[in-house]
Amino acid sequence: MGKLSTLVVILILLGAGAWYLNYHLKLSEYDKELVFNEEKTVQGVVYYTSPVIPAGTYRIKIEPSENVDNVRIISESGKVLHEPLIVVKSDFIYTSDVPFKVEVKFRPEEGYNKYSISVRIYKLVKR
């Protein structure tokens, strides 16, 4: 059983490494233009929705990642286009053929009353 568990761990690490390289190689092909930036100090559970963003390829960066409870990509009409089961990363690339909004649910860490949040959306333009 020891060899099997070692093999599984190695495969997981190789998969994570391949994903990381693919993510950064894709980012290196683009110049980024800041299209939206929102920073504020909030209290309690906060639901944040961005304005409508035109179709295209975007880098969405949400901070602090430990306060992100859920991220959804929704259409102008409110239909859910993408909702991950687990929010693993709050810095990701999203491509859409239709205009969309980003909806984020923030929750405070235990013991903290106020906290700062940041949502940045960059349009990725091919070099």
Task: Please write the tens of the pLDDT for every residue from 50-77.
Answer: 999 999 999 999 988 788 888 899 999 8
Q: So what's the pLDDT on residue 86?
A: 59
**pTM attached to this predicted model:** 0.73
Q: So what's the pLDDT on residue 23?
A: 63
Largest interatomic CA distance in the chain? 52
Average pLDDT along the chain: 84
**Angle formed at CA 71 by CA 64 and CA 122, multiple of 5 degrees:** 70
Q: Classify the C-alpha dihedral 87-93-96-101 as positive or negative.
A: positive
Please say whether the beta carbons of 33 and 126 come within 8 A.
no
Using alpha carbons, select from 69, 61, 56 the residue that is nearest to residue 100: 56
Domain covering 32-126 in this structure, CATH number: 2.60.120.380
Summarize the confidence of residues 23-38 as an average pLDDT: 78
Task: Please write the tens of the pLDDT for every residue from 87-98.
Answer: 666 788 888 999
